[in-house]
Amino acid sequence: MGKKIFLVIGIAILLCRINAYAQPLKKEIKVNAEILASLYLTKCNGTPLDNVKLKYDLNSDVYTHTECIKITALGADSVNVYLSDRFILKNKNGAEFIDHEVLIDNQSLVEIPSDTGDYTPINLSNGETYVELKINAAPPKRTLAGDIYSGTAKLVIEEEL
């Protein structure tokens, strides 16, 4: 009987040790991090700038629009601005406006600059600034009332590194 008790106690001790040294728990946790946009362009009141309608200016004989815009760049002291493509206004028949011009604070934006010196630099205070965006275009000599001319000004804003 004494041997059986020792045997039972021995097995109990072994089982306790086995439980104490069980396999560690492995747990996989999926982690995601979304990179926030670091550059923003909005109207000064915070609404998106998606569409502009040019109005005829009798004094200068051009169609024009001026908008206060806010440029925000997280972690940057300045940005460079240029046009990625030629700005053209044309109608459904292909007739084009002439003398297209896109300006920021009265500086004309370069279309596809060949050198970094051609960019329009804008300094930021605390990562943001307010500037004036102006778009001008002169109508062709022969236009018909009601003709609609449209195009896209493709602004590129890059953080200056």
Tell me whether residue 147 is in a domain. yes
Q: Are 153 and 85 in contact (CB under 8 A)?
A: no
Q: Are 99 and 136 in contact (CB under 8 A)?
A: yes
* Residue 18, pLDDT score: 53
Tell me whether residue 34 is in a domain. no
Tell me whether residue 88 is in a domain. yes
Q: Is the pLDDT of residue 120 over 60?
A: yes
Tell me whether residue 145 is in a domain. yes
d(C-alpha 126, C-alpha 2), whole Å? 84
Q: What is the DSSP letter of 150?
A: B
Mean of all residue pLDDT scores within the chain: 84
Tell me whether residue 142 is in a domain. yes
Tell me whether residue 96 is in a domain. yes
Torsion angle in degrees (nearest 10) through CA of 9, 12, 13, 18: 160
Residue 6 in tokens? 């020792």
Of these ranges, 43-47, 96-100, 107-111, 119-123, the one predicted with the greatest mean pLDDT is 43-47
Domain CATH number, residue 47: 2.60.40.2040
d(C-alpha 32, C-alpha 22), whole Å? 32
Domain count, the chain: 1
Taking residues 3-16, what's their average pLDDT?
66
Taking residues 34-44, what's their average pLDDT?
82
Residue span of the structural domain in which 62 resides? 39-159
Lowest pLDDT segment from 30-34, 123-127, 134-138: 30-34
Q: What is the DSSP letter of 17?
A: H
pLDDT digits (tens, 9 = 90+) for 76-90: 888 889 998 888 999
Tell me whether residue 107 is in a domain. yes
* Residue 151, pLDDT score: 92
d(C-alpha 68, C-alpha 40), whole Å? 14
d(C-alpha 153, C-alpha 111), whole Å? 10
